[in-house]
Structures are given as C-alpha cells and as structure tokens.
Amino acid sequence: MTDETSKPAAPPAEPTTPVVLPPSDITKEITSAAQSQIFKPVRPEVRPHAFVVMPFGKKKGGDGSLYDFNAIYKFLIKPALDEAGFEPFRADEETTSGDILTDMFQELLLADLCLCDLSIDNANVYYELGIRHAFRKRGVVHIQAGRAYMPFDIFNVRTLPYHITAEGVPDPAFIKSDIQAISRMTKDTWMSDRDAIHSPIFNLLSGLKEPSQKMLRTPLATGFWREYKEWREKVTVAQRLKRIGNILLLTEEIRNPLIKEEAIGEAGKALANLGRHELALTQYRKGLEVNSESILFRRQEAFHLNRIGRSEEAIIKLESLLSEYPNDSEAISYLGRIYKEMWAAPWSKIKDKKLRVKTAFKSYHWLIKAADIYIKGFRIDLNNYYPGVNALTLCSIAVYLADKFDDKKDPDPDITRIRGELQELRGALVFALESKTYDENADYWSLVSLAELFVLVADNVSSVSRAYRKALTASRRNLADLNSSLKQLEMLQSLGLRSEFVQAGIDTISDEIHRINSEGDEQIVDDRSPKLIRDKYKWKGFLFSGYMVDFPGKEMCAFPAAEESKIRHEIHKKLEALGAQVEDRAFLGGLSAGSEIIFAEVCAEMGLHVKVFLPLPEQAYIRRFVSIAGDSWVDRFYKIRNHPLVDDIYQIESVGSPKEGDDPYERNNRWMLYSTLKYGVDNVLLIALWDGKTAQAKDRDVRLVNHMIELMRDMGGRIEQINPAKYTSKFVDVASPTPAEDLKPAAPNDDVKQPARAHKPVEKTQRLRKK
C-alpha cells in the first residue's frame, strides 16, 4: 500500500490471448507457478514477517460467487510474499497449543507487515484490519478479487485486484502477473520511508504516537512465544558449555523475526561473553536487518566494530546514534572507551617504562577527551556506574601524569579543571557504590566498579582484594568480563599508578581466570584479550568433508575401496603440510563408511583431538551410513568412536530436532562449521575429498560435500581439496601409512551385533599437550 489516495483500481488489462485450461489441469498449472518461486539458500535467511489476514476455506461473496481462500493463499499470496522476501504466516498455520485468539493478536500487533484480503465482507477480517490500523501506523497491504466497490470506510485506500476463476481459485492465465503485482506492492510498501503512514487513523490524528513493540507484547500469547522460550533454554545450556556452534545454529533457525529480534540480542551477548566479537558483530548486523531502528543493535554494532579494531567506523556509528539520542548514556560510554583506547595505543607497547609513561603524557589530550565523555555519560545517568568509574580512573591518571611532567608554572587548564572535579566525582561514586556491597542482587559490573574505585582511593591493599573477590561471586565465571577488568588493571600497572593496589586486583582476577581455564578442555582466545590470555595457545581447527566408499547400489561412485591406502596417505600428507599439531582440533560431520572414518583414524594416529557431529541417533546412523558398506566398516566405526581422542555429539540431543523442511544433514554441516568458529575463521580450514561434482547431483554424498564447501566459501574460509578422481586412473603408488593396530578393521562378520557403547578411558580428559 502506498500513501496515495485513489478510487478503487480497475483490474489490469486482459492479455490478448488468455490461456484457458480444463478444470483438471488448473491445479497443476497453479502448483507449477507457485513452485517456480522456490529458491533454497545455503542456510536459513532472516526475512521480515508478514501476517496474512483473510477468511479460511471456501466462502461466498455478496453476489454468490465462490472464493477458495485456502487455494488463494497457497498458490497466490504465499508465493507472492516469498518472492517479496517475506516470511508469510496465516493464523491457521500455528501448530503449537495456546490461545489462538491471543496469538493472533500478537501477530497483528507485532508483524512487520499485514496483508489483508478484502474480497468479501468478512467480519473477522475487518475487525483485525481495524486493530492493525489503530495500533500500527505503517505496514498494511490491501488486496481483493472480483469486487466492484469497497466499503465506504476504506474506499479511499488503494486495494490491489487479482484474478480468480469461477471455481474461486487463482486464475492460471494471470497467476504469474498477479504474483508479481502483489510482490511488487508488498516490497514498495515495506521499502517506503520509515516515517510513511499507511494507517488512515494515524493520518487523521497527526499527534497520535505509535506504541513501542515492547508495550504491545503479552506473555499470555503462550503459543506465539513458545519458540523463543524453547530457544532460550537450549542457548542457556550452550552458554554454560561454551558451545558457540549451538548458539549460532539455534538462533539462525528461529523463523519468526519477531522472536528472532529477541534471540539475536541474546545470541550476540552470549558470543561476546565467549570472546568472539567478530561473531557477535555478525549477529547484531543480522538484527539490524530485522529491525534497523533498534538502539541496542546499533549500539552493539559500534561496540564490536571497535573491539575488532575498526574504531573509525565505530565512532561514526556512535556519533550518528547520539545525534538522534543525545542522552544515551551507554552509547556515550562506548564512545569514551574508543577515545581511551586511542590514547593508550601509542604508548602501551613501549617496553621502557620511563619512555612509556612520558609518551602517555604527551598524548593526554585524548585522555582528557575520553574522561570528559565518560563524565558526561555518568551525569546523564548516575545509576550507570561504568562511565563514572572510568571517568574517575582517567582523571586520576591525568593528574598523576601531570604531576610528573606538566609545567608547574603554567599548568594545562584542562588538568586544573579535572583536579577540581576529582573530589566531587570520587565522593559521588563512593556513596553510590558502597551501598551495592549489601545488595544480594548486585551485578558484576556494579561490584567490580567498587573494586576499581578502591584501587584508586583505598588506604590498605586488603580492601582491594576483598572488593574484587566480592565481585567474582557475581561474575558467573564470565571470562569476557574478567578479561575486560584485567585489561583495565594492566593499563594502570603499565603506568606505575598505585602499583601495590593494582597488583592485588590483578592477582585476584588472574587466579579466578586460571581456575576457570584449568576446569575446561580448552580456552577460547580473543585477539584483544589481555596479555595473560594472549600468551596461551591458539589452536587451529581442521574440518573434513568427503565421500563414502563405493558400495553396491550407490548412485555415484567416487571413492573406490581399492584405493583406500592412497587416500589415507593423501589425508596424512595434507595434515602434515598444514602443520597439524597435537593441540589442534579436527571436526567431522559424521563417521560414515569411507573417507570420514579414515580421516578420524589418521587424526587419532597423529594425536589430534577429533569431535564428531552426528545428524542421527547412533543406531539409525550406523544403519544408513556405515553397515550399508559392509560389516568391517561397522567394527571400524565403533573402534574409532571409542578412541580416547574422539568425542561424538548428537544433533537431536544437543540442539533438538530440525525444523520442518530443514535437511538434517545440511543442518549438521552448519552446526559443525559454526562450532569451529571459536578459533576464528582465519584459524579454521576445510579439507574436502571432492572431485568437483556440483550440488545438482542426485547423490546425497556428493550434494552434502558440495554444501559444506559452499558454506565454507560463504564464510570466507580456506578450502584444501583432495581429488579422488585421479585414483580411478593413473596414480603413482606410495608407501602409505597403515592404521594404528587398535584401529585396524576386524574380519567381516555376517551377523554383526552393534556393541554397547564402550566407556571411554579417563585419559581422554587428561591429554598431554605440547608446551
């Protein structure tokens, strides 16, 4: 719908040679037209949400004409919305239990766009349209078929006509043009100026304010919010287990963008807490695709741009945000942080202490700018302690440096001003923060702000240690938060400011980080983590995707069993060439008979830890992907699965069942890839046993390898190919390494019983690593 006012539009001109089909062929033609709109991306897309308001089933109009609204939705409206880039939804598509009326209201009030079919005078449709007009100022499209006029109250709102047959279904002669017309109108409405008004009520009442989406949400819509609740439970578990892949996959799979906006915010926060700022940035930018006006997403986009070293972009984003919301204390604090880092950059890497401190003074103009920004943020919101404590810290540093290097006879007026503000700032913070020590619900940042305050003002060292230990009880063992606090202390330490008090804080936090790391199997490393963390290992991740061994009945033969030794040698040689070490990790999307089992065996021989992601429960997986190639492969499956260096995790247990229509094997590829991203995409590469066959091949084996390659390309990762095609022709024989003794396949057995899952040796969690 556009803003223009017009009389009811006349139907489009008839084609010169309309196509007339017998009734038996109409459905085939409609179905073909609808299916022609389908396009399957390499991963789920984030699309705006369109709620369709229309009657259900077969209904008659005022003149007795028939309308099959289910066919109209299936073959016309849904394909048109798909083509326009929307996620279409109609109330009768809800399959979860709940109050259908309440859930319908949530859709009406929160959907990005409502498409209303006004072909007949249906009371429910007009009631729902009235609700949308009353609460939302934009995002409504009207369509109709067969009407000569529209009711008086909406006659001046543009309504797009479409064509139906005497049976009440979309007319095959016009379906393509009608789909395009509805799609175009929907896209034009969505892409119109964000301040454009589509509701006649908001047009008449110019002073009427649209309620925020938060005000329009109700927890009574249990069916509507069930997907989000289930997602949150799974992501909470994934956060505690530090499983980035689970978080990314589960968030990507939420289909309702109204829920997705909430989920993206939580996922971005979780990824930031795990130290992956580049992944958090990607999440928040996806959030901006869903809601470009979100202050949270805009703010976090700038924050994470800065954390990955793109400070100039971050400043532009924050200044743009603050031009619209000048009193956003959190955005102001983020801007202060950027200028603080700009001040610290020139001197922080200087090894000589005297030169380092002198250089810090020479760039104090940036220090003062950062301090002033923090002071502004604190004065706007005195309950936001983060900018207050940072302002006090930077002001204290400025005075400390000025006492060492500033001209005593002609002091800098900004330093003089800051000296005058220090006492007032200190007093305000002490009064506000000390009360937090008695609040059992106080969060980490409130308590650690008090500890940082004590570093600057305390008279004895023990009070600093006590304050930091108190803060640790609220940290939830969040390494990202602890690392941030540690970096602040390292900055003070490098300048020699109150060294004994600073060291007490460093010792307390470092001990906690060490305890957390000693309990885990591995540490996620952030490039901008404190030196304490950066000195730890940064492991590489090797993904693998490859063909199954050829077996009778396989659609496409790509891996001759007779050439296994050569393929094994190529895999071993490739890993050696890529510098694989025992501290690295290998990832597999299964243990199918063929190259996947071989890759796992080679990695175990080399001492690499292997993580296997299985798309099906164990027995079903063996039946479909292992035993089909022979009993010896079943024995090899169990032997490598029970190896102490091999972990196996199952899709349904970890991330639940796939959504309707989602391929569980392609989902498994995404899950595996996302799980490796904690190493950083530049430290992950894919080894593919692939002969160049494309995804159009019918063979599932070929299709899934190709899908994995496309995912890796889309992520910007590196791919190393091993081409099995050369093994079917000439190949120079090599002395191939043989499997380790305990991994050799057992003799064939025609009556293989799948053994009970063996207990994995305790050495699995006590691996020796290179130091």
Q: How far apart are CA 252 and CA 38, in angstroms?
A: 20
Position 727 scores a pLDDT of 66
The model's pLDDT over 178-233, given as tens digits with 9 standing for 90+, comes to 999 999 999 998 887 667 788 888 888 888 888 877 788 777 777 778 888 888 88
Extract the tokens encoding 404.
Answer: 């060492």
Position 71 scores a pLDDT of 94
pLDDT surpassing 60 at residue 629? yes
Residue 594: phi, psi to the nearest 5? 130, -135
Q: How far apart are CA 555 and CA 535, in angstroms?
A: 50
Mean pLDDT of 669-682: 87
308 compared with 733, residue with greater pLDDT:
308
Position 152 scores a pLDDT of 64
Contacts of 703 (CB under 8 A, 6+ apart): 695, 697
Q: Which of 5-9, 157-161, 395-399 has the highest mean pLDDT?
A: 395-399
Q: How far apart are CA 465 and CA 473, in angstroms?
A: 13
pLDDT surpassing 70 at residue 737? no
SS3 484: helix
Mean pLDDT of 107-131: 91
Question: Tokens 């070929």 belong to which residue?
Answer: 702
Q: How far apart are CA 50 and CA 34, in angstroms?
A: 18
The DSSP result for 162-216, as a single string, is: --B-TTSSB-TTTHHHHHHHHHHHHHHHHHS-TT----HHHHH-TTPPPPPGGGG
Mean pLDDT of 739-755: 37
Position 194 scores a pLDDT of 67
The DSSP result for 226-249, as a single string, is: HHHHHHHHHHHHHHHTT-HHHHHH
HSE of 266, CA atoms in CB hemisphere, 13 A: 21
Q: How far apart are CA 280 and CA 277, in angstroms?
A: 5
Question: Tokens 């869903």 belong to which residue?
Answer: 290
Mean pLDDT of 644-663: 92
Q: How far apart are CA 198 and CA 220, in angstroms?
A: 28
Helices 499-519 & 479-495 angle (0-180, nearest 10): 150
Q: How far apart are CA 233 and CA 237, in angstroms?
A: 7
Mean pLDDT of 636-644: 96
Residue 516: phi, psi to the nearest 5? -65, -45
Q: With bands split at pLDDT 50, 70 and 90, how would you rate the model's confidence at 155?
A: low
The DSSP result for 601-670, as a single string, is: HHHHHHT-EEEEEESS-HHHHHHHHTGGG-HHHHHHHHHHHTSTTEEEEEHHHHH-SPPTT--HHHHHHH
pLDDT surpassing 70 at residue 508? yes
Q: How far apart are CA 747 and CA 221, in angstroms?
A: 59
Position 561 scores a pLDDT of 86
Position 735 scores a pLDDT of 38
Q: With bands split at pLDDT 50, 70 and 90, how would you rate the model's confidence at 163?
A: very high
Question: Tokens 């913070």 belong to which residue?
Answer: 429
Mean pLDDT of 113-141: 91
Q: How far apart are CA 470 and CA 448, in angstroms?
A: 8
Extract the tokens encoding 658.
Answer: 């796939």
CB atoms within 10 A of CB 546: 26
Element (H, E) at 770: none
The DSSP result for 256-301, as a single string, is: -HHHHHHHHHHHHHHHHHTT-HHHHHHHHHHHHHH-TT-HHHHHHH
The model's pLDDT over 683-693, given as tens digits with 9 standing for 90+, comes to 899 999 998 87
SS (H, E, C) 699-737: CHHHHHHHHHHHHHHHHCCEEEEECHHHHHCCCCCCCCC
pLDDT surpassing 50 at residue 553? yes
Residue 57 falls in which region: left (phi positive, over 0), alpha (psi -120 to 50) or beta: left
Contacts of 658 (CB under 8 A, 6+ apart): 253, 651, 664, 667
Contacts of 641 (CB under 8 A, 6+ apart): 591, 612, 648
Mean pLDDT of 148-161: 75
Position 25 scores a pLDDT of 52
HSE of 570, CA atoms in CB hemisphere, 13 A: 22
pLDDT surpassing 70 at residue 111? yes
Give the helix, strand, coil percentages of the chain, each rounded to 5.
55, 10, 35
pTM: 0.71
Extract the tokens encoding 293.
Answer: 């006006």
- Burial of residue 207 (CB within 10 Å: 0-12, 13-18, 19+) is exposed
Contacts of 572 (CB under 8 A, 6+ apart): 602, 605, 606, 737
The model's pLDDT over 301-347, given as tens digits with 9 standing for 90+, comes to 999 999 999 999 999 999 999 999 999 999 999 999 999 999 999 99
Q: How far apart are CA 139 and CA 185, in angstroms?
A: 11
Extract the tokens encoding 300.
Answer: 């976090």
Extract the tokens encoding 193.
Answer: 């100026």
Q: With bands split at pLDDT 50, 70 and 90, how would you rate the model's confidence at 142?
A: very high
> By the 8 A CB rule, do 123 and 117 touch?
no
Extract the tokens encoding 650.
Answer: 């199952």
Q: How far apart are CA 708 and CA 698, in angstroms?
A: 16
Average pLDDT, the chain: 82
Whole-Å CA distances, 683 to 246, 362, 538, 575, 709:
19, 38, 8, 14, 16
Position 435 scores a pLDDT of 73
Q: Among 490, 389, 493, 502, which residue's Cα sits nearest to residue 449?
A: 389
CB atoms within 10 A of CB 408: 7
Q: Among 498, 411, 424, 514, which residue's Cα sits nearest to residue 455?
A: 498
The DSSP result for 750-766, as a single string, is: TT---PPPPPPPGGGGS
The model's pLDDT over 569-617, given as tens digits with 9 standing for 90+, comes to 999 999 999 999 988 999 999 999 999 999 999 999 999 999 999 999 9
The model's pLDDT over 57-79, given as tens digits with 9 standing for 90+, comes to 999 988 889 999 999 999 999 99
pLDDT surpassing 80 at residue 469? yes
Position 764 scores a pLDDT of 39
Position 99 scores a pLDDT of 64
